[in-house]
Structure 1
Amino acid sequence: MADLRSAAGLALGLAALLAAPSAQAHRMWMTPSATVLSGEEAWVTVDAAVSNTLFHPDHVPMRLDGVTVVAPDGSNQAPENPSTGKYRSVFDARLARPGTYKIVSTTEGAMASYKVGGETKRWRGPAAELKAAIPEGAAEVRITENQRRVETFVTLGAPTTDALKPTGRGLELEPISHPNDLVAGEPARFRLLLDGKPAAGVEVDVVPGGARYRTDPGEMNLKTGEDGVVEITWPGPGMYWLEATARGGEATIPGAERSAGYVATLEVLPD
Structure 2
Amino acid sequence: MKTSLLRTAAALVLVGSLAVPASAHKAWLLPSSTVLSGKDDLAVTIDAAASNDLFYFDHRPLRLDNLVITAPDGSEVKPENASTGKYRSSFDVALKAPGTYRVALVMDGVFARYKVNGEQKRWRGRADGLAKEIPADATDLVVTESARRLETFVTAGNPDEAALKPTGKGLELEPITHPNDLVANDEAEFRLLLDGKPAAGVKVEIVRGGIRYRNQLGDTTVTTGDDGVFKYTWPEAGMYWLEANVNDDKATLKEAKERRAGYAATLEVLPE
After the TM superposition, which residues 177-256 of structure 1 pair with which residues of structure 2 at under 5 Å, given as runs?
A: 177-248=177-248, 250-256=250-256
Instruction: Tell me the secondary structure at the aligned position of residue 24 of structure 1.
Output: helix
Instruction: Tell me the secondary structure at the aligned position of residue 168 of structure 2.
Output: coil
Instruction: Tell me the secondary structure at the aligned position of residue 253 of structure 1.
Output: coil
Report if the CA contact (8 A) 1:29-1:55 is conserved: yes
Matched, 1:64 2:57: no
- Corresponding letter in the other structure for 2:261: A
Matched, 1:34 2:33: yes
- Corresponding letter in the other structure for 2:253: I
CA distance in 2, matches of 1:115, 1:89: 35
Cα separation, partners in 2 of 1:249 and 1:232, compared to 1, 3 Å: farther
How far apart are 1:122 and its partner, in Å? 1.5
CA distance in 2, matches of 1:229, 1:169: 18
How far apart are 1:74 and its partner, in Å? 1.0
Q: Cα deviation per residue 1:161-196 (whole Å; 9 max; x = unaligned)?
A: 000000111111000000000111111111011110
Instruction: Tell me the secondary structure at the aligned position of residue 54 of structure 2.
Output: coil
Equivalent residue number for residue 269 of structure 1: 270
CA distance in 2, matches of 1:98, 1:85: 31
How far apart are 1:23 and its partner, in Å? 5.6
CA distance in 1, matches of 2:186, 2:163: 24
CA distance in 1, matches of 2:60, 2:249: 30
Larger radius of gyration: 2
- The RMSD of aligned alpha carbons is 1.3
CA distance in 1, matches of 2:100, 2:249: 30
How far apart are 1:251 and its partner, in Å? 2.1
Equivalent residue number for residue 260 of structure 2: 259
Instruction: Identify unmatched segments of 5+ residues in structure 1.
Output: 1-21
After the TM superposition, which residues 1-271 of structure 1 pair with which residues of structure 2 at under 5 Å, given as runs?
A: 24-41=23-40, 42-248=42-248, 250-256=250-256, 257-271=258-272
Identity %: 59
Deviates more, 1:258-267 or 1:131-140: 131-140
CA distance in 1, matches of 2:39, 2:101: 14
Instruction: Tell me the secondary structure at the aligned position of residue 105 of structure 2.
Output: strand
Instruction: Tell me the secondary structure at the aligned position of residue 169 of structure 1.
Output: coil
Report if the CA contact (8 A) 1:170-1:195 is conserved: yes
Q: Cα deviation per residue 1:201-237 (whole Å; 9 max; x = unaligned)?
A: 1111111000000001110111111111111111111
CA distance in 2, matches of 1:232, 1:120: 44
How far apart are 1:125 and its partner, in Å? 1.4
Report if the CA contact (8 A) 1:68-1:103 is conserved: yes
CA distance in 1, matches of 2:263, 2:108: 12
Report if the CA contact (8 A) 1:100-1:155 is conserved: yes
CA distance in 1, matches of 2:38, 2:62: 30
Equivalent residue number for residue 9 of structure 1: none
Instruction: Tell me the secondary structure at the aligned position of residue 54 of structure 1.
Output: coil
CA distance in 1, matches of 2:249, 2:149: 16
Instruction: Tell me the secondary structure at the aligned position of residue 24 of structure 2.
Output: coil
- Corresponding letter in the other structure for 1:30: L
- Corresponding letter in the other structure for 1:136: A
CA distance in 1, matches of 2:249, 2:124: 21
- Count of residue pairs brought into register by the alignment: 250
Deviates more, 1:247-256 or 1:139-148: 247-256
- Give TM-score scaled by structure 1 length: 0.89
